[in-house]
Amino acid sequence: MFLTQTATLLVDAYRELNARRLFWISMIISAVIVLIFAAVGINDTGFTILWKQIPNDTINTRFIDRATAYKTLFENLGVNWWLTWGATLLALVSTASTFPDFLTGGAIDLYLSKPISRLRLFITKYLTGLLFVTLQVIAFCLASFFVLGFRGGVWVPAVFIAVPLVVLFFSYLYCVMTFFGILTRSTIASL
């Protein structure tokens, strides 16, 4: 019964977050960034964007090898820009109302009418927010892993180190946001 209730709460909270459409917007933006990442190439005369050759004397495979170019692009565009700021901010906005909406009259009463502890209810809701971000980061890292492998010619499993790091970074921000969301019961104040 313990696992069934927790699984039901996880599924319910995931459906609630998924219905907000920001999950899908974030996934689409991640896909676009990976496609941009895949569209850029490097050769001995310069670099390419899709089929357009752009001659360049400094950015080519004579000065930087293909694997290093793709790793640098992934690190700068994917991790430093998108995962650290873009996806994290979208995830914070999409999960901001989880606890304030949960604590409104009627919503909490429905959950507490079932025999479940408040602590488990809170932890399950919190973990669902983390799951929400984890799925997005895994999808981005998996797609980037294949782009690095097929386009860059280097298979880098270390790409997946971004998953726990980004989720940990998000969890710090999310716990502060959750605290203020519970304290004020306001989505705007929690953000």
Residue 112 has pLDDT above 60, yes or no: no
pLDDT of residue 166: 93
| Dihedral (Cα; 92, 31, 36, 64), 10-degree rounding | 80
Block residue for tokens 């790091």: 165
How many structural domains are present in the chain? 1
Give the residue-averaged pLDDT of 10-32. 81
pTM higher than 0.85: no
Instruction: Tell me if 51 is assigned to some domain.
Output: no
Q: Does residue 12 lie within any of the structural domains? A: yes
What own/partner pairs with CB < 8 Å and gap ≥ 24 does 185-190 have? 185/100, 185/103, 185/104, 186/100, 187/96, 187/97, 187/100, 187/101, 190/96, 190/99, 190/100
Average pLDDT over residues 95-117: 69
Would you state the pLDDT for residue 138? Answer: 95
Residue 137: Cβ within 10 Å count: 22
Residues 71-80, mean pLDDT to the nearest whole number: 86
Q: What is the pLDDT of residue 114?
A: 64
44 domain residue, yes or no: no
Q: Which of 5-14, 106-115, 157-166 has the lowest mean pLDDT?
A: 106-115
> In terms of residue numbers, what domain contains 176?
2-39+65-190
pLDDT of the residue at 11: 79
pLDDT per residue as tens digits for the range 119-142 = 888 888 898 889 889 989 999 999
Report yes or no: 8 and 24 within 8 Å, Cβ to Cβ. Answer: no
| 170 belongs to a structural domain | yes
Mean pLDDT of all residues belonging to the chain? 84
**Residue 14: both structure tokens together:** 């995931």
Q: What is the mean pLDDT of residues 89-114?
A: 73
Answer whether residue 139 is part of any domain.
yes
What pLDDT does residue 2 have? 66
Question: Range with the lowest mean pLDDT among 9-13, 22-26, 35-39, 146-150?
Answer: 9-13
DSSP one-letter code for 159? G
Note the pLDDT tens digit of each residue in 154-189: 898 999 999 999 999 999 999 999 999 888 888 888
pLDDT digits (tens, 9 = 90+) for 40-55: 888 888 888 888 888 8
